[in-house]
Amino acid sequence: MTTLMPPKRQRKIGRWILFGSMMVVAVIMLYPFWIMIITSLKSESQFLSGGGFSWLSWSTLTSVIPIGQEVLSSTIVCSSSILIILCVGLPAGFAFSKLRFRMSTVVFLVIVSAMMVPLQAILMPEFVNVTKLGLTGGYFGAILVYAALGTPFSVFLFSTYFRGVPDELIEAGIVDGLGYFGVTWRLIVPIAVPAIATVTVLQFIQIWDDLLVGLLFIQNTSERPITVGLAVLSAGRTTSIPALMAGSIVSAVPAMVVYLGFQRYLVKGLTMGIDR
């Protein structure tokens, strides 16, 4: 005769199995980052021989590429693009979710369908158009392209999020004389912080880690982002692997900091409104 395991013990074992599985996944995901750190703390000769530690790779990195200027350039491009994405996507998402107008569904589907178009399919036509406007010399061309690529997703996410906002709240604001503009900026924006944080984090990671747009649309070498700088470093005749790993760490840290800083908003921002 078999005896059933008590439910409390089953839940405890299940938690330990889940914890062990997550630990294995964490080790697999963090191991490459650990290798990057260890490799960056070696000189080229130490890397080839497999022993010793040195800060020479970090000094080599700063002498080969202007790492500080490139981080600043990436920050300017990311911040400006995300600001445009939020300023366009938030009111558009509110309008599509709460304000019904003629052909609104069709317009919304057309905008959202832009998310299905791969970047590689439109990159060259965009480059031709931006070049004709003379915007490939500095930041502005890349900012416009990133904003155009990120806006459909922000419209979709904000629209989904605002479907969970009670209509009575908006109607009360209209009755109080706020108008749609006042309702948007005084009522909607404060309760949309999770959605704003979600769009900010996801777009920041995508823009910060992108190479193609920065490589094509920012042709001024003094304004190139860090991903382009690392690509130039790795394309040299003699590539220093420790210096490249040091640059990769510098490139990865800002995205990790932004993600960790806003992670508590991500799940709420992505799921609110889906079940309504």
pLDDT confidence of residue 154: 92
- The alpha carbon dihedral of 195, 196, 199, 204 has a sign of negative
62-271: CATH number: 1.10.3720.10
- Burial status of residue 79 (CB atoms within 10 A of its CB: 0-12, 13-18, 19 or more): middle
Q: 73 pLDDT band (50/70/90 cuts)?
A: very high
Average pLDDT over residues 198-213: 90
Q: What is the pLDDT of residues 139-167, one digit of tens each?
A: 888 999 999 999 999 999 898 888 887 87
Of 152, 117, 148, 120, the residue nearest 216 (C-alpha): 120
Q: In the predicted model, is pLDDT for residue 23 greater than 90?
A: yes
pLDDT at 117 over 70: yes
Percent of the chain that is helix, strand, coil (3-state, to 5): 80, 0, 20
Quick check: 150 and 198 in contact, CB under 8 A? no
Residue 156 identity: F
Q: Residue 187 pLDDT > 60, yes or no?
A: yes
Distances (CA, A) of 228 to 12, 136, 233: 49, 15, 9
Instruction: Quote the radius of gyration of the chain (alpha carbons, Å).
Output: 24
Provide the Cα torsion 107, 112, 118, 124; round to 10°: 40
Other beta carbons within 10 angstroms of residue 200's beta carbon come to 22
Residue range 210-235, pLDDT digits in tens: 888 888 888 888 888 998 888 887 77
